[in-house]
Structure 1
Amino acid sequence: VIVNGSRAHLEAAHARYPALTAVEVTVDPALLARRLAGRGRESAEQIAQRLSRATQAFAVPQACRLAQVSNNGAPESAAAALLTIARKQLAR
C-alpha cells in the first residue's frame, strides 16, 4: 500500500504499521517556488507557506526506515525512483 500522508502523522502511522518505509520526496526550494508560481493556483503567501513547510525538519521514529526521492528532475525520474523503493519493499 502506498499512502500520501502528512509528516505530522508519521509517528502514528509507524506505531500502527511498524514495517512501513517512509519516503520523503524532496525538491530544491527555488525549483519548488518556480513550479508553484507557474501553476498559478496559489498566492505568493501560500507559496511562501508551502516552502516553509517543505524545508522544515520532521521527526522520524527511531526504528522507521526512511528513503528519499529527489523531485528535482523530470517527473518520470522521481516516479521510477519511487517504484524502485516500492518493488524492494514488496520483495521483502
Structure 2
Amino acid sequence: MSRKSHLKTATIICLLCLLLGSTQSKPESEWTPEMTAAFRARSQQAITNFAGSNYGSTAFENEKRSYPRAMMDFLAGNREKAIAFLQSEDADLFR
C-alpha cells in the first residue's frame, strides 16, 4: 500500500473517530448526555455544511484539503461520488 493510500485510510478513520467519538459506554466517561448531544449536533452541522462541495484536487499537497471534504460528503450520503474520488489515482502520480 502506498503512502497516499495510507493517508486516505487515515483520513477516513480520523473523521469516523471524530463523528463517533462520544460512543463510550464506560461509567468513567466524562461525557454527559448533553455534551454528547451537542457534539453530535455540531458534527451533523459540519457534515451538512461540507456536503456537495467541490473536493479540489489530489495534485501535490492538495489532498490535505480534498480528502476531508470528500469524507464529509460521504458521511452526508453522497457515497458514490466521494468513494470514486477517494479511490481515484493521484493527479501527480506519474510526474
Same-fold call, TM > 0.5? no
* TM-score, reference length from structure 1: 0.32
Select the structure that is richer in strand.
1
Point out the structure with the larger helix share.
Answer: 2
TM-score by length of 2: 0.32
